[in-house]
Amino acid sequence: MVHPFLFIAPTASMGRGVYTSEDIAAGTVIEISPVVVMSAEERKLLDQTALHDYIFEWGDDSTQCCMAMGYVPVYNHSYKSNCEYVMDYPNQQISVTTVRDIKKGEELLINYNGDWDDETQLWFNAE
């Protein structure tokens, strides 16, 4: 399920991003997408490819990884993001929910650290 208001477009500096063509209220689930779960061994291989920047850690001990379908891999990062993602391990899917009201035309951002306001430094320079 990808919310029909979402669309992908170029950003000023971060390649492509996810935007909304309509206002969205806080607390709205905007996407629920399946993932392909992979082992720690597969993760080592993926980390040597461009997908390093797209996969998510997976599993209770975070040693596995996953590649998500839908728009999940396209959301850019913010240390004060307007959306948050939740991993559903048993059902192998990731959902994305707005954490505040969002205006038409805004870019939808997640915090790659997990919580929307977690300022832990990432592996690349980000705002």
29 binds its own copies (CB under 8 A): no
Beta-carbon contacts of 49 under 8 Å, excluding residues fewer than 6 positions away, are none
**Integer Cα distance of 113 and 41 in angstroms:** 22
28 binds its own copies (CB under 8 A): no
Interacting residues with its own copies between 37 and 76 (CB under 8 A): 37-38, 42, 45-46, 48-51, 54, 67, 69-71, 73-74
The closest of 88, 90, 43 to 66, measured between CA atoms, is: 43
Residues that bind its own copies (CB under 8 A): 1-2, 4, 7-8, 16, 33-34, 36-38, 42, 45-46, 48-51, 54, 67, 69-71, 73-74
